Amino acid sequence: MPRILYGVMGDARGHVNRARTVAQGMPQHEFLFVGGGRVHDLKSQGYQVADVPMVGTLYRNNRVNLPATVTNAVKVLVSRDPVVQRISSVIEEYDPDLILTDYEFFTPLAARKLGRPCISLDHQHILTQCIYHPPAKQHLSRLMTCWSVRNIFSNASLFLIVSFFQLPVNDPQTSVVLPPLIRKEVLEHSPREEDHVLVYQTSPTFLELLPVLEQVEGRFIVYGFGELPPRRNVIFKAPSNNGFLEDLASARYVITNGGHNVTSEALFLGKPVFSFPITNAYEQFFNAHFLADFGFGDYSCNSMPSHRDLVAFESRLDQCRKKIASRDFLGNKIVFSLLERIMAGNLNISDI
């Protein structure tokens, strides 16, 4: 059975869900995951996991906690050499047929140390491997994020970038942009339209959004704040994967942060998206900008949101749905096929 060693960033569900989607889509392969944080969740699903420290992003009050993020990164990077040596030993013992990384720091360094190729499969590298005009705002956040992606997380040999928006790449010999990977659970749900709007917030401290929802006509189902008493037209639900997907598949539209995976799942199900990106999380702002630029939705970076933004957005829902219907948001088959061809050694990435 072919073996795949897969380094995964564990600071958010999106990376882990994407890696699990790859493993489920390639069941004829054996997987060993490398990572920390939420990567440990894969153990309960029967996968092997090697634990490593995590260079993750920390949040507070719907914004990136820069001091905590930098402090954690410095602490992890100082211990780099012994961790790289340990992962190198794991690679030598496991002898994988393919090494992947989803924004995980140590795996590509260990692969490079051993002279072995490592394939990056993530969304973040759209920031550094593609050609675009940078959005006009958040210059400092852009500089910090792009520096981090380019100088800390870009040690792979090839970059397979999955994205709900397509941009041209700088170097077709080393990079390609593909449609998103969509979880099996999402694929099992059929889209329909009921009378509610789904709200998903990864930061339960964005309380300013709640009174805004009360001012807008319609029913809002909210995930991310826990199970709270209802507020007029706002219903709070406890975490539930199947319940969330049912409400997503049947929503009129979706309000969320700027995370790539949830946005991609909403678009795959034909749902327009209004984004409130987390402050100083430049990738989320970048996603929100191109969400609006491609006509799939809209966004606001205002820390004090206005109900007028949502009312204006609702007047454009049909236009957004037409734009969404004209695009392909499912890249599973092509990604799995590319990985097989890479293992077989018969892929010229520039021909994709």
pLDDT band for position 346 (cuts 50, 70, 90): confident
pLDDT at 141: 87
pLDDT tens, residue by residue, 151-180: 889 999 999 999 999 999 999 999 999 999
Tell which residue, 299, 308, 204, 207, has the closest CA to residue 255.
299
User: How high is the mean pLDDT of the chain?
Assistant: 91
- Domains defined for the chain, CATH in brackets: 3-181+331-351 (3.40.50.2000), 185-325 (3.40.50.2000)
Query: Is the pTM of the predicted complex or chain greater than 0.85?
Result: yes
How much is the average pLDDT of 107-134?
97
**Residue 321 banded pLDDT, cuts 50, 70, 90:** very high
Q: Compute the Cα dihedral for 270, 272, 278, 284 and give only its sign.
A: positive
Distance CA 72, CA 346 (A): 40
Cβ within 8 Å of residue 143, ≥6 positions away: none
Q: Tell me the pLDDT band of 44, cut-offs 50, 70 and 90.
A: very high
Kindly state the percentage of the chain with pLDDT values over 90.
75
Q: Is the pLDDT of residue 111 over 90?
A: yes
Per-residue model confidence (pLDDT) at position 184: 96
What are 61-89's pLDDT values in tens digits?
555 555 555 555 556 566 778 899 999 99
